[in-house]
Amino acid sequence: MDRVPAALQETSPITPDPRYDRVTIALHWLTVLLVVTLWLLAQVWDLAPKGSAARHAMQALHVSFGLVLVATLTLRVVWRAGPGRRLPPADAGLLQMAAKAVHWGLYALLGAQAGLGVFGRWFSKDPLAFFWLFAIPSPFARDKALEDGLISIHDTIATIILIVAGLHAAAALWHHYVRRDGVLRRMLP
Ligand code: HEM
Ligand code: HEM
């Protein structure tokens, strides 16, 4: 294979081991960290008695990190549509279609999850607050039935996200350990 000049290693489509750019990589792993933290918070507050200050504080933290996720997702979509580096598909044929469906599915699930969380909070009696610093006022009146309905769908989507992200992570590890084709490395710093 032709030697690729060092200056082109990061950007050229002909480099043998291209990587995503640093912003894409940072936003990917920040998303992972936030999703895991948000899920863990919901598991832990379930152990605290209903109505307790601890449970309330964990829910407020969940909403605050949730708003960080909303900002991260927005940045990620804008970055991907604009200057973010795109790489050729890691698979061909059916696997390529499956990978694409999983990636777009994850974006859609995360977007839906964020929307359900924000609207669920707006229909509740509690504020959509960012770390006790400020709150985004609700345009709606309180509606307990609607809040419960939205949060119940939010709960189901949380499980679906974990399953789909788990399959996605397993596929990344399969590429790394079985196919040894460098696909995982392109998303690593
Ligand atoms: C992938 C990201 C997320 C996951 C995995 C997740 C997970 C969960 C889970 C498992 C619950 C418990 C549902 C129940 O009690 O039935 C919950 C509740 C909730 N989530 Fe999320 N969530 C995520 C993102 C968000 C976002 C972005 C927001 C909004 C900014 C949000 C706002 C809420 C609210 C308001 C509740 C109800 C809390 C309460 O009962 O007061 N979540 N979430
Ligand atoms: C909550 C967990 C995760 C979410 C929501 C998530 C989401 C995503 C999304 C949406 C993409 C598509 C990027 C794009 O084309 O715009 C992607 C790519 C990628 N993810 Fe994840 N991911 C998660 C966890 C992981 C884990 C744990 C690993 C590694 C074990 C991983 C490895 C990768 C790799 C290697 C790519 C690039 C695949 C390619 O170039 O075709 N992801 N991820």
Kindly write down the DSSP assignment for every residue of 57-124, as one continuous string.
HHHHHHHHHHHHHHHHHHHHHHHHHTTS-----SS-HHHHHHHHHHHHHHHHHHHHHHHHHHHHHHTS
Asked whether 117 lines ligand 1 (CB < 6 A), one says yes
Least distant ligand from the CA of 130: 1
Is 3.40.50 the CATH classification of the domain at 20-187?
Answer: no
What local confidence, expressed as pLDDT, does residue 127 receive?
97
Provide the pLDDT for residue 58. Answer: 98
| pLDDT lower than 70: segments of the chain | 1-17
The answer, yes or no, to whether any atom of ligand 1 lies below 6 A from the CB of 154, is yes
pLDDT tens sequence across 77-115: 999 999 999 998 888 899 999 999 999 999 999 999 999
User: How far, in Å, from the CA of 118 to the mean position of ligand 1?
Assistant: 9
Q: What is the pLDDT of residue 112?
A: 98
The full set of domain ranges for the chain reads 20-187
- Ligand 1 atom closest to the Cα of residue 120 is 35
The model's pTM is 0.91
CA of 22 to the centre of ligand 1 (A): 29
- Amino acid 17: pLDDT: 55
Supply the pLDDT for residue 19.
Answer: 93
Q: How far is the CA of 96 from the centre of ligand 2 (A)?
A: 14
Q: Which pLDDT value is given to residue 18?
A: 86
